[in-house]
């Protein structure tokens, strides 16, 4: 028997009370603990399941609609337009809505905590703020990538089946560029989710974050062509969501960036915003 155990028994006999053995000091919170906590929080958010399922349905449904309506359009196309017909991009157009839903979920990951003030409890449990935000970004990036992969994969299958049924050119999974578009599209959607997380960290308001994301992801690309001269060309080519979306295309437009450089522009924009978000999150009060 150890000396410490003998001393405890001796003191117990003398005093007539039971003395508990000394406790080990609690271990510090590590990144693994933070990752596990963020996984639980994101997984148990009601919006997570709704957004993921809604994104899948929208992606597959839009691909099927585009494919089924392409039959009549393709038959009436001039020969020059048929040369630029892109069945790959047609079936993956659902990414345009998917980027918004996943980005909104990314914003909610942080703004929901600010709105309910549970961010105070989070930072009390884990005072290392960079670790908290890094855990949120890592866990959500994995979730967003997997949701994006399911969206692009099911969208491709639904779209190509509809194109085949309409009797127009279609692709198989083994065709060149298909897996690049499917996997690259999933990466793009993960980046869109991190963009939402970064903006949510900086803005902290759910309403303002939603408004900013709609403007950046939908309004600016839609109204970019109406801008004057070179500004219109620059927006179409270098605006991060527009440039990153080229990863889902098969036809190479010489006026636009190639798929991987375009995705690189999107990744660079997200990296800059995340860096600013980390610095701000560390210095600003909860």
SS3 call for 171: coil
Region class of 177: left (phi > 0), else alpha (psi between -120 and 50), else beta: left
Distance from C-alpha of 88 to C-alpha of 172, rounded to nearest angstrom: 10
To the nearest whole number, what is the mean pLDDT of the chain? Answer: 88
Beta carbons within 8 Å of 108's beta carbon, 6+ residues apart: 45, 47, 196, 200, 206
Task: Give 270 or 85, the one with higher predicted confidence.
Answer: 270
Q: What separation in angstroms does the CA of 244 have from each of 1, 94, 237, 256, 258?
A: 68, 14, 10, 11, 9
pLDDT band for position 17 (cuts 50, 70, 90): very low
Average pLDDT over residues 236-260: 94
Q: What separation in angstroms does the CA of 252 have from each of 89, 159, 190, 260, 268?
A: 11, 20, 23, 12, 22
For 47-71, letters b (16+ CB in 10 Å) and e give ebeebbeebbebbbebbbebbbebe
Q: What is the pLDDT of residues 76-133, one digit of tens each?
A: 888 888 888 999 999 999 999 999 999 999 999 999 999 998 999 888 888 889 999 9
Q: Is the pLDDT of residue 259 over 80?
A: yes
Tokens of 36: 């596990």
Q: What is the pLDDT of residue 10?
A: 47
Average pLDDT over residues 270-279: 97
Q: What is the pLDDT of residue 83?
A: 85
Among candidate residues 202, 203, 213, 208, the one with its CA nearest the CA of residue 281: 202
Q: What is the pLDDT of residue 262?
A: 97
SS3 call for 249: coil
Q: What is the pLDDT of residues 191-244, one digit of tens each?
A: 999 999 999 999 999 999 999 999 999 999 988 888 888 899 999 999 999 999
Q: What is the pLDDT of residue 142?
A: 97
First to last CA, the chain: 51
Q: What is the pLDDT of residue 177?
A: 94
**Domain assignments of the chain as residue spans, ordered by start:** 31-283
SS3 call for 19: coil
- Side-chain half-sphere exposure of 35, counting CA atoms within 13 A: 8
Distance from C-alpha of 256 to C-alpha of 145, rounded to nearest angstrom: 25
Scan for tokens 């670790």, then name that residue.
131
Tokens of 154: 């099911």
């Amino acid at each position: 028997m150890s000396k410490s155990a003998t001393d405890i028994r001796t003191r117990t006999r003398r005093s007539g009370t039971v003395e508990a053995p000394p406790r080990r000091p609690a271990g510090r919170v590590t990144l693994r603990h933070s990752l596990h906590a963020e996984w639980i929080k994101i997984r148990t958010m009601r919006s997570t399941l709704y957004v993921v399922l809604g994104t899948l349905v929208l992606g597959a449904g839009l691909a099927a609609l585009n494919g089924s309506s392409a039959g009549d359009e393709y038959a009436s196309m001039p020969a020059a337009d048929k040369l630029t017909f892109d069945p790959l991009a047609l079936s993956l157009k659902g990414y345009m809505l998917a980027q918004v839903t996943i980005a909104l979920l990314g914003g909610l990951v942080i703004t929901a905590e600010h709105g309910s003030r549970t961010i105070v409890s989070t930072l009390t449990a884990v005072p290392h703020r960079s670790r908290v935000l890094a855990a949120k970004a890592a866990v959500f990036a994995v979730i967003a990538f997997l949701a994006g992969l399911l969206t692009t994969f099911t969208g491709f299958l639904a779209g190509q089946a509809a194109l085949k049924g309409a009797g127009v050119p279609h692709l198989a999974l083994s065709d060149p560029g298909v897996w690049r578009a499917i996997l690259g599209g999933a990466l793009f959607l993960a980046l869109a989710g991190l963009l939402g997380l970064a903006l949510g960290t900086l803005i902290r308001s759910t309403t303002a974050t939603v408004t900013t994301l709609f403007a950046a992801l939908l309004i600016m690309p839609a109204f970019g062509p109406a801008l004057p001269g070179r500004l219109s060309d620059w927006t179409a080519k270098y605006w991060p969501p527009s440039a990153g979306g080229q990863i889902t295309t098969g036809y190479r437009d010489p006026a636009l960036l190639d798929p991987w450089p375009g995705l690189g522009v999107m990744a660079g924009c997200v990296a800059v915003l995340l860096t600013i978000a980390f610095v701000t999150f560390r210095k600003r009060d909860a």
